[in-house]
Chains A and B, each alone.
Chain A
Amino acid sequence: MERSAIAPMPSLEIKRYTGIMDWLTTVDHKKIGLMYFWFTVTMGIVGGALAGLIRFQLATPGAVIETLQAAHLAGGPEPFSLFSNGGGIFGDQDRFNQMVTMHASVMIFFTIIPGFIAFMNYIVPLMVGARDMAFPKMNAFGFWLLIPSAMLMLSSFFVQGGAAASGWTTYPPLSILGHGTKPGQDMWVMGVHLAGVSSILAAINFIVTIASLKVMKWRDLPLFAWATLFVSIMALIATPVLAAAVTMVLLDRNFNTTFTIASQGGDPILYQHIFWFYSHPAVYIMILPGFGGISHVIAAFSRKRVFGYLGMVLATGSITALGFVVWAHHMFVVGMPTWMQYYFQVASLAIGVPTGIKVFSWLATMWGGTIRMTVSMMFACGFLCLFVLGGFGGLILALTAVDYTLNNTYFVVGHFHMVLVGGSVMLLFSMTYFWWPKMSGHFLSERLGKWVFWLMFIGVFIAFFAMHISGANGMARRIAVYYSDFRFSNYLTTVGYLMTFTSACLFFGDLIYSYRRPKITVDDPWQINDIQQSFEWATSCPPPVYNFAKVPPIPILEQIPSHDHKH
């Protein structure tokens, strides 16, 4: 090996802990990345279980208004129900709202966002040729903030009045109710604050790492690093705004301020504008890193380099920029001036253009390649299929006039699950199958992986397509009881959920089992790096503490070939 000729990094003089203390005190971006990963996987299972309770409620006859009524008329026992005001197994309908709120919060703040941060943490410094993040201690601090944050949120189930029950959007005045007696909402707000601080710290770290520790020029930066950069900029700008919004709720609840209380001159809509100013970019925070990662996966398994590098970077950049100016499409029905609604409609539709560029560029990347259908690649293809489908629903929803009908229905729920589970989660799986050998030094099972993929793909499709049908037929979101018109589509969704959750559990088991598989001894287990020339495949699996003996470990790839560049 070329590397062996060079002297290894001198060992550090600092006394290092071993075992559990090593993990608790580590500032190594790889170990922190792994901890992020395991945190995410655990939280994903928790969030999925919460979703399961919601799905079981909605699949039982106890949720159908007509069957409830029939029981009343006949004097028979109430039909089986998890959450019902007449005494459900798990509590009343308020408990159901808590499940809805916490499912969303856990999935957004503790699964998808940190899930991508896990890969960003592990892979980006490797990719840009850095030995660690720019601020390793801050990196560790950011991760360890997530633990109390998650503990605050999840433990709020056990306080008086239960967890927050006003939806993850926490619209006042609903979220103001119960102040002083139901601390769940306050705990939720504090949890979001901690998660937000963690997110901001990570964002600063990534921006500085990429800007100052990269060994290549900007125009040769790998796409995943670009996506990380854009996402970090987004998180840095948007997250403080979320903090401001939830702080308003906290102050209104506890300190007699009146930001959102109409009788005192406040305005509930103010909160909604501020909240969505964060939460729309948050949608992209939850998918853009995956967009970057998938470019590597698709290129690697097509044995090609990614198509239209410049277009990809520009598209990511314009999604970032546009993401900040479309927030009000979440709140078309609050009564805004016509032209303003129209502006938000056109701007939202316009996001479809750069997204389309990315989709077509991925297809063009695959075109003409020799495609190896590994599980990672299957997830990438599944992502393309489901994401385009979910995006189509998004285009329809962006039309203000149509949104007057579909806003806050299951169509919206179906749409964002299709792009978050069919999109972000599929991306996370794809990236995991791709980079897990690098991160852990062990392969995941390709054979089991095919089961994981097909179960998830079909499950996600069934579950969330059926949600679109429920919504188009008139089912409102966040309801614990519904009209019988939606029985069938709700059964379907629950069936789809079961498949998805089974698949996730299989995957979880495989992750744990993978440590018992033989250790990978080569740098480039997928045998792709002759074309990709990505730094992370030019070091051992997992990489040593110092990442590379020599930086850059391999020649820097010129992303835009010079003849093309002049053009």
Chain B
Amino acid sequence: MTALPTSNPAANGNRRRMNLFGILLALFALCMSSYFLIKFPDLYRLFCRAIGVQTNPNNAAVIAAPSKHSGRFIDVLFEGAKDASLPVHFYPDQPVVRLEIGTDATNVYHFKNVSDHAVSFRPVHQISPIAAARDFGLKLCFCFANQTIPAGETRDFPVIFTFGADLDERINTVTLRYTLFEISADAPLTEEQKRIQEGLLGPGAIVSPGAATHAPPAPAATPAAGGKP
């Protein structure tokens, strides 16, 4: 056996204690950071927004901004897709909505359950180009909750949305797409939907009062309406 680089036992002990302390500190930091990330998911979202990844349809700042005429118009194209097996027929009332940036616009999606049993599905929102997502605010949407449509019935779900004034000047066409995925009637909400629902029900609601009133019964706005046939 060769001599270790440090042969002074006292120095060795010191070093070991320091090492142990460092390792414990690192472990503690790891645990704490995991805890905070889980406890406060907004931290993660803040990070995402900071680096330019906007994953959710709701930009609270855009929604909260007062309506203002900007004189700039863009086209919003609507489309829908679903699993081939899902017995729901749905389409946007208007495939193209011309919207003045800074003001709200409304479109309605018509749904019809073409089967003889109640159907539950989860609508997933997509927006393109992704650069538009940051300045997009969705005030009311059926994608805020999972939806159930009883056998043979129809539903009209409004979509109320707006764009912030910061929207890239070169964007003049935005596409919104809703994809329906079949789920069981008691499937839980996704994290995103939960967050939106909390916002809807709690203080600082994302849906502006104005939007909520001129919306029809708004089955999407409350989970109860969407959840029970």
Contacts and interface: CB of A to CB of B under 8 A. Distances in A.
Asked if chains A and B are in direct contact (CB within 8 A), the reply is yes
Interface of A: 129, 212, 215, 217, 262-265, 335-337, 339-340, 551-552
A337 to B, nearest CB: 4
B139 interface: no
B5 A265 contact: no
Among B183, B190, B192: residue with most chain A CB under 10 A? B190
B119 interface: no
B23 interface: no
B190 A340 contact: no
Interface string B152-186: 00000000000000000000000000010101000
Nearest to B130: A335
A265 B191 contact: yes
25 contacts: A129-B2, A212-B4, A215-B2, A217-B5, A262-B124, A263-B122, A263-B124, A263-B179, A263-B181, A263-B183, A264-B122, A264-B181, A265-B190, A265-B191, A265-B192, A335-B130, A336-B53, A337-B51, A337-B52, A337-B53, A339-B52, A340-B51, A340-B52, A551-B2, A552-B2
Contacts of B130: 335
B190 A264 contact: yes
Contacts of B4: 212
Contacts of A340: 51-52
Among A215, A265, A552: residue with most chain B CB under 10 A? A265
Among A217, A337, A339, A552: residue with most chain B CB under 10 A? A337
Contacts, number: 26
A248 to B, nearest CB: 17
Nearest to A265: B190
Interface string B78-104: 000000000000000000000000000
Nearest to A131: B1
Contacts of A129: 2
Nearest to B129: A335
A265 to B, nearest CB: 4
Nearest to B190: A265
Contacts of A212: 4
Nearest to A267: B55
A212 B51 CA distance: 42
Contacts of B190: 264-265
Contacts of A264: 122, 181, 190
Nearest to A258: B190
Nearest to B189: A265
Among A217, A262, A264, A335: residue with most chain B CB under 10 A? A264
Given A217-B5, A263-B181, 19 more contacts: A129-B2, A212-B4, A215-B2, A262-B124, A263-B122, A263-B124, A263-B179, A263-B183, A264-B181, A264-B190, A265-B191, A335-B130, A336-B53, A337-B51, A337-B52, A337-B53, A339-B52, A551-B2, A552-B2
A220 to B, nearest CB: 12
B168 to A, nearest CB: 12
Contacts of B124: 262-263
A340 B130 CA distance: 14
Contacts of B5: 217
Contacts of B53: 336-337
A129 B5 CA distance: 14
- Please give me the 10 A-B residue pairs with the lowest Cβ-Cβ distance, nearest first: A263-B181, A265-B190, A337-B52, A215-B2, A551-B2, A335-B130, A265-B191, A337-B53, A265-B192, A263-B122
